[in-house]
Amino acid sequence: MIDRRELFGAAAAAGAGLVCTSAAQAQHGHKPGASPLAGPHAHFCGIHMAKKNPKIQFVTQHYCAAHTGGKDGDVFQCVLFDGTGANAKLVGVEYLISDEAYRKLPDAEKKFWHAHTYEVLGGGLIAPAMEAKDEAAFMKVVLTTWGKAWHTWPDPSTSVPVGEPLLIWSLMGDGQADETVVAARDKEFKVDTAKIREARIKEFGMQPPNVPLPKDMDAVGRQWTASGDDKPPKK
């Protein structure tokens, strides 16, 4: 199960990538801890892809906190933005659950959930404010989680959120990412996805998976392999 202490431990140790609202609460007369936004939030950045059309890809900022106490472990609730500035557009939501919790879902539900294995090992998922050591610990926990994400503002270039929400899927193999999107993200955060990929392969001792793009909206995600036993391949 996802362990809240593991997931946020690295971020807390670094003192970076976290947001607390206790000062704002005090200003408005609320007790600390009374708001869903009162606790620490982890910030990470990834590249999202529309399941119905893999050519639709976005750089997406995640700000996530834990909902605790569920019988299947914590659920990490993320609000999604198209940027990190004060006037960024809130474009959607994402929920993260453990692999154990995912395996218990009905088959009809699993088509909504995407794996994070390639995003982590391929270097597409970053936590920009963390030190490398802390980010590695953070990503180790995220590696086997599953996400259910919807972009409710499907085209951020519009002035208001119009159109049907987009079910989001994950990049799951080399050659699937729009290189212009990756380049823009790398330039913005001064990172190199290829070097991050190399470092994570070394850090985790695993090769990134190579799972094909979904054939249709009913396709069920896989973490490691295109077919057969869905387990990490041998080094």
* SS3 annotation, 198-225: HHHHHHHCCCCCCCCCCCCCCCCCCCCC
- Per-residue model confidence as pLDDT tens digits over 7-19: 545 444 444 333 3
- Per-residue model confidence as pLDDT tens digits over 117-127: 999 999 999 99
Distance CA 137, CA 193 (A): 18
Contact 129, 17 (CB under 8 A): yes
Whether residue 100 has pLDDT greater than 70: yes
Q: Which residues contact 62 (CB under 8 A, 6 or more apart)?
A: 42, 43, 44, 45, 46, 78, 79, 80, 94
Whether residue 188 has pLDDT greater than 60: yes
Share of the chain above pLDDT 70, in %: 84
Class of residue 58 by CB neighbours under 10 A (exposed 0-12, middle 13-18, buried 19+):
buried
pLDDT band at 176 (very low <50, low <70, confident <90, very high): very high
Whether residue 34 has pLDDT greater than 70: no
53-67 and 166-169 strand pairing: unpaired
Share of the chain above pLDDT 90, in %: 73
Question: What region, left, alpha or beta, does residue 62 occupy, with left being phi > 0 and alpha being psi -120 to 50 degrees?
Answer: beta
Q: What is the mean pLDDT of the chain?
A: 87
What does pTM read for this prediction? 0.86
